Structure 1
């Protein structure tokens, strides 16, 4: 099993290219199931989760080809061979549930295993299912699978109010509604850039969608969708992660392709902590204004609030801040599992339920640590950049789900980092 070894060595300098968004691409790929025409995605990230979604779509009969070193995905679902998404594939990744809505809308039926993924909370799929039921779907949960059938004549438009702004449920309902008969209104819909990106792609395929990016999305169903070519939006979580590298250990780094509108709430916290963020034609240039960052309080919220997927990385920064910070996690339970590992590096962190109190220290110390999930793994790497001595991060297979070429990107701006076989 691989490990990543990081040795703290001072300021960073240079450019880091930011990939296409994993969470956007994993949503865009199932959109191929809505049409028998080709769908081409450019700026695709090269990640293990993308390979898992590729495996799942191929198991349904879709053709998926990775071109140009994997940055272009050519998809075609002209001849689906099954509507069953098996447990052996779905268990690897929660985003697999996103084939349910498209299959049901196009084929009229679907059998999809309940999904797996990172152990950062229950994250139930009840909102996905209730939205599809509102469109007339008949659902039966048994033996760990969702058995779904559309009514005679297909799904029907519906007025759906989510009890909270679920990204996945909004995406599943949005895709299903494009082929439903009549008008669907999604209220309290998620507003994330990945939702807007999906809507842009679906419009390119012929869907009629208004209001994406707001809490109310209106979809007028059409009889069929066609093909399209779509560029995947920049990954705002990878962007925020690499913005923290110079914030933690000094220097100046430009994150190529970055945009402030994707990470506005995050940038506000960086500014409060004493981090400069300047938007240019190339992207976002980040530098630390002083020798030590200031403590700030953080509350994770749905977009446009502070992203839960940047909470672990922000905690790594605040471990060396001047003062005491409080981080409140309001999206997922069990998302402070990285805290004990940071404590092994000399951090002062006290966790009580959904709150973590971080009292900054002047310097972290390198130590052997273990990644518990995707974002926790990269937070430990960031902490290692600021630590004295060597940090060895184990179980880095989590990292491959969400970050491409971490070692290459960080070493390219001067970090001392390598990946080795344990």
Structure 2
């Protein structure tokens, strides 16, 4: 285990380049096993989840080579061997459940442990199971692992209506359906940019996926997929949003590069409402030093609404704003692990009936806090940068799971931050 040590109060200036999207990457890597040729991914972020996925693939004889200088990952599934994945690394990240759809699409069966990842409240996989069964698979839960088996004749196309919008279920069903017989339609599908990225990736292999980015996705199954060209992963909109909030709080002129601003429309609208002074360019956003900031109400929702992954990183900005701010997370109402940690730092923040209520504070004080999940960790990291004194964040591995070369990037902006081994 490691800790992050932050000496707060330093102004940030300069530029930071956003890495490839974590939420795309953790779907694209499992999807690589559908290819019958080598797969090359560009703009791969340096995050712990990538290395965990590489280790899972190695168990199936899928060799990988990650060039950290060029951010290029080459995966070779040509000698893949089916292997049950009931435990081990599969428990280390939520996105491991994408091996359900990918293995089902490649081999016609899958044995995958129940997913791990962040504790941010209930995240059932019933919509995934419902979809697999619609495609003809039988599904059972045995000793904490999901057993999925296609019929002898293979999966068949089907009309699937998701009872609730689910990014995970939409991706998993795409992975299973791309090699199924006939046409599949996924209705009430999630519209996130990461789903469009996955569809682009699969279509470049020869898949026939149409409608990604809308609420109805249609897939015509094909018998074989072959990767032909490198796929460049889209920029990480959550990382971008995190640095935007950080720059608004602690910045003295910060240019955030490699951004698709359209992916952040709802977030940027809230920053403008708060009073953040920004200049949006073609693929970058310059954040000027902040003037007076105003509290707002934030309500998360499915894309293109305000992303649940950004409600915690924007929290320190709301603490700095004048007035009372409100955060309502309709996706994960129990995503509040950052609140008691912020209180340790002097924040005036409370929870009432799953609504987070924030009041202006003049300053925060450094403290010993714990990053219980990725985005809570990002929130505490920003709070530490704006606080007086020293902040020590334990369980920093959670931050490293989701933020590309975060210490290097913060130091380049002028932050006094380092990671040390936890002596305990």
In the superposition, the TM-score normalised over structure 2's length comes to: 0.96
Deviations 1:332-352 (A, max 9, x none): 142111111111111111102
The offset of 1:233, in angstroms, is 0.8
CA distance in 1, matches of 2:373, 2:32: 29
Structure 2 SS opposite 1:218 = strand
The reply on whether 1:23 has 2:23 as its aligned counterpart is yes
Tell me by how many angstroms 1:282 deviates. Answer: 5.0
Query: What is residue 245 of structure 1 aligned with on the other side?
Result: 246
Q: Counterpart in 2 of 1:90? A: 90
Deviation at 1:8, TM superposition (A): 2.5
Q: Matched residues in 1 for 2:188 and 2:293: separation? A: 36
Structure 2 residue 166 is the aligned partner of structure 1 residue 179: no
Structure 1's consecutive aligned runs of 4 or more residues displaced over 3 angstroms after TM superposition are none
2:92 match: secondary structure: coil
Note if contact 2:46-2:68 (Cα within 8 Å) is conserved in structure 1.
no
Aligned to 1:367: 367
* Residue 350 (str. 1) matches residue 350 (str. 2): yes
Contact 1:325 1:359 in 2 (8 A): yes
1:396 counterpart = 2:391: no
The residue number in structure 2 matching 1:116 is: 116
Match of 2:33 in 1: 33
Q: Which one is further off, 233-242 or 68-77?
A: 68-77
The worse-fitting range, judged by mean Cα deviation, of 199-208 and 10-19 is 10-19
Change (3 A) 1:282 1:259: closer
Answer with 157-166 or 80-89: which moved more. 80-89
Measured after TM superposition, the shift of residue 13 of structure 1 is: 1.2
Residues of 2 paired with 1:159 and 1:249: CA distance?
49
What is the alpha-carbon distance in structure 2 between the residues aligned to residue 344 and residue 333 of structure 1? 22
The DSSP-based 3-state class of the residue aligned with 1:84 is coil
- How far the C-alpha of 1:70 sits from its partner, in A, is 6.8
Alpha-carbon distance in structure 2 between the residues aligned to 1:374 and 1:289: 26
Question: Aligned pair 1:254/2:255, yes or no?
Answer: yes
SS in 1 for 2:314: helix
Partner of 2:107: 107
Structure 1 CA distance for aligned equivalents of residues 416 and 60 of structure 2 = 43
Partner SS state of residue 313, structure 2? helix
Structure 1 segment 276-287 matched on structure 2, within 5 A: 276-281=277-282, 283-287=284-288
SS in 1 for 2:223: coil
User: d(CA) in 1 for partners of 2:137 and 2:219?
Assistant: 17
The corresponding residue for 1:7 is 7
Residue 210 (structure 2) aligns with: 210
Distance between the aligned counterparts of 2:43 and 2:114, measured in 1? 29
- The answer on whether the counterparts of 2:154 and 2:181 sit within 8 Å (CA) in structure 1 is yes
Unaligned 5+ runs, structure 1: none
User: 1:29-80: per-residue Cα shift (whole Å, max 9, x none)?
Assistant: 1112212211111100111111111111111221222125371111121222
User: Which residue does the alignment assign to 1:127?
Assistant: 127
Distance 1:326 1:239 in 2: 22
* Distance of 2:61 and 2:85 partners within structure 1: 11
Unaligned runs of 5+ in 2: none
Take 2:104 and 2:418, find their aligned partners in 1: how far apart are those partners? 45
Report the number of matched residues: 421
Aligned partners of 1:221 and 1:340: how far apart in 2? 49
Change (3 A) 1:70 1:2: farther
